[in-house]
Amino acid sequence: MPKTTPNLRLVKSAPKDELEAPPSSRRSSRGEILEMGDDQLVVLALEGSSDEQLRAHEALYRRHAAFAFNLAARIAGSTNDVEDVVHDAFLRAFDNLDNLRNPKAFKSWLGSIVVHAMRSRLRRSRWMRLFGLGHPGDPVDIDALTSEQASPGARAELAQVYALLQTLPADDRIAWTLRNVEGHDLKGTADLCDCSLATVKRRIRRAQRYIETHFVDHGDDAEPTRLVAKRSKRSGGAK
């Protein structure tokens, strides 16, 4: 069995003979292709005619592009270069379809490629920043991240959380974002991060602790007197 690069590793593999083969004996119509499962599309993309391959690729892309775009943008905290990341991720995925051991898991495999790409970008920009090489990294673009329906409170919270996330190591930041922004369960987060459950838990916990320490949120039941005093002193002092 050919080795795969670490980011392309699948946690769970299924024998290919268990998969339902696409109707390879005849040309698949566009409608049929759209109704196929990911596993069938993968097989078609590998074994179909060139036209079928293109359609299978497009079907896979159309089905999972939204997931990839949102994943990349929410990890980055902006939409800068997101199209490049998604383009490269799909290209890598299509080029390595024959290395995919469980074609049913195309989505999570694609997700792990996106995560790996984003991780590289974050780490690169962090190192560039540390060495003062002038690349400040992607700015957090809260307008791009939040929808028009987001409440002011939600926007403020997200802005603060992303500002904090920017200062975290890439691995911790990604794990926390996948878990708390994207809403993946721990197992899914571990799969996307291509690491063990224990590792991803440790990363999330680290990021969580940092955010809890630095996030300013006294909640609705904050004692008003203390806040009053703080504000009063400051205002009074400024006069």
Partner 1 sequence: MSDERRSRELKLSWQDEPTALRDHATPERLDRVWSRLERDIAREDDVHVPTTLRKGARPRGRWGRPSLALAAGFALGVGVAGWLWRGGPERPLVMQPAPVQNDGPRVLAAGTAPQTYPLPGGGVITLEPGSIVDRIEGPGQGLQLRLVRGEATVSTRRDGRHERVSLMVGQAQVVTAAGSMRIRHDGDTAFLQVIDGSAEVKTPHGDQKDLLLGPDDEARVPVRVITAQADQPLTPQRKSGEPAPTSDDGGSEDDAPAEGDEPSTAPAVVPAWVTACNEYDYAAAVKLFAEDGGDLATVSDPVHLMCLGDGHMARKDGQQAAATYERVVNGTGNDTQKALAALELVRIYQGLGEPNKVAHYRELHRKLSKGRVFSAEALCQKIESEAAAGHAETVRQLAERYRNQFPNGACTQTIRQLLEQLAAAEKAAAAKDGADEQGADAGDPPADPYDEIGDDETPPE
Footprint of partner 1 on residues 70-109 (CB under 8 A)?
70, 72-74, 79, 82-83, 86-88, 90-92, 94-98
CB of 17 to partner 1, least distance (A): 22
H or E element, residue 44: helix 38-47
Tokens representing 161 are 């959380």
Of 10-18, 33-41, 101-109, 129-137: span binding partner 1 (CB under 8 A): 129-137
Please give the residues from 137 up to 196 whose contact with partner 1 meets the rule CB under 8 A.
Answer: 139-142, 144-147, 149-164, 166-167, 179-181, 186
Please give the residues from 11 up to 50 whose contact with partner 1 meets the rule CB under 8 A.
Answer: none
The single residue among 21, 136, 196, 197 that binds partner 1, judged by CB under 8 A, is: 136
CB of 141 to partner 1, least distance (A): 8
H or E element, residue 77: none
Tell me the C-alpha distance between 127 and 220, whole Å: 39
Tokens representing 6 are 């670490």
How far from chain centre, in Å, is Cα 233? 44
Unique residue bearing structure tokens 């179909």: 48
Cα 150-184-166 angle, rounded to 5 deg: 65
Please give the residues from 219 up to 238 whose contact with partner 1 meets the rule CB under 8 A.
Answer: 219-220, 222, 224-238
CB of 91 to partner 1, least distance (A): 6
By beta-carbon proximity to partner 1, the closer residue of 36 and 181 is 181
CA-wise closest residue to 78 among 177, 7, 217, 191: 177
CB of 156 to partner 1, least distance (A): 5
Unique residue bearing structure tokens 């049929």: 32
The tally of CA atoms less than 13 A away on the side-chain side of residue 150 is: 15
Burial grade of 159 (CB within 10 A; 0-12, 13-18, 19 or more): middle
Of 10-18, 19-27, 36-44, 126-134: span binding partner 1 (CB under 8 A): 126-134
CA-wise closest residue to 72 among 85, 56, 91: 85
CB of 205 to partner 1, least distance (A): 7
E strand segments, 77-127: none
Please give the residues from 51 up to 70 whose contact with partner 1 meets the rule CB under 8 A.
Answer: 53-54, 57-58, 61-62, 65-66, 69-70
Residues binding partner 1: number (CB under 8 A): 95
CB of 48 to partner 1, least distance (A): 13
By beta-carbon proximity to partner 1, the closer residue of 105 and 207 is 207
